[in-house]
Amino acid sequence: MAKVHRFDHPLIQHKLSYIRDKRTGTKEFRELVNEVAMLMAYEITRDLTLDEIEVETPVAPCKTRVLSGRKLGLIPILRAGLGMVDGMLRLIPTAKVGHIGVYRDPETLQPVEYYVKLPTDIDERDLIVIDPMLATGGSASHSINVLKKRGARSIKLMCLIAAPEGIARLERDHPDVDIYVAAVDERLNEHGYIVPGLGDAGDRLFGTK
């Protein structure tokens, strides 16, 4: 069964409040989303494994630890997932980045795929799918299907805000994928928007309507 990990670090919760606020403009919204993504990257990488090495400090030899060679891949779901990539790369700069373009049809709320470009070796990587919003779960579930069909074996999903409906969908479709969120909100409204949520993540990030 998929686990839901909620990051209640005070800095993440503080910044999320300003991200939600409708008075926050595009520039600040974009900066805050990247900052929260960086803090979430710190939390989501807690289980990375370490190898022991020896270095010489100016004083003496020292047994110390570095990340073992496990390779990471970040998979933003376009467009809004792009807003979290730079923040994550600040902490894990060697991660490869694959892109999945999916938008949600406004009438049917079904995901429509328009672009896929992935690292060739996704079967050897620990993948983190990133998207600020998990609403019905259609976009995330579709994107994870795309990755699995191409051989992905290790996938986590990281979102800012999730609706209970989206979590239930992911638990049903992908019980092997753990979900990492900053908040779980109340519900979806009749247009499939998360309540209270933050509005349309892509529009707020890129200044569109």
- State the catalytic residues: 104, 108, 200, 203
**Residue 16 or 140 with smaller CB distance to ligand PRP:** 140
**Interaction of residue 194 with ligand URA, rule CB under 6 A:** yes
Instruction: Let me know: does 62 contact 54? Beta carbons within 8 Å.
Output: yes
- Which of 32, 33, 102, 135 touches ligand URA (CB under 6 A)? 135
Residue 51 pairs with which residues in a beta bridge? 66
CB of 43 to ligand PRP, least distance (A): 21
**Interaction of residue 37 with ligand PRP, rule CB under 6 A:** no
Residue identified by tokens 């092997």 is 176
- The amino acid that residue 192 corresponds to is G
CB of 165 to ligand PRP, least distance (A): 8
The count of C-alpha atoms lying within 13 angstroms of the C-alpha of 172, restricted to the half-sphere facing its C-beta, is 10
20: tokens are 């939600």
Q: Point out which span in 31-39, 68-76, 132-140, 171-179 binds ligand PRP (CB under 6 A).
A: 132-140
- Which of 87, 111, 119, 197 touches ligand PRP (CB under 6 A)? 111
DSSP 65-122: EEE-S-EEEEEEEETGGGGGHHHHHHH-TT-EE-EEEEEE-TTT--EEEEEEE--TTG
CB of 154 to ligand PRP, least distance (A): 21
CA 66 – CA 59 distance, rounded (Å): 20
In the bound state, the residue with its beta carbon closest to ligand PRP is 202
In the complex, the residues that contact ligand PRP under the rule CB under 6 A are: 77-80, 103-104, 109, 111, 131-140, 166, 192, 200-202
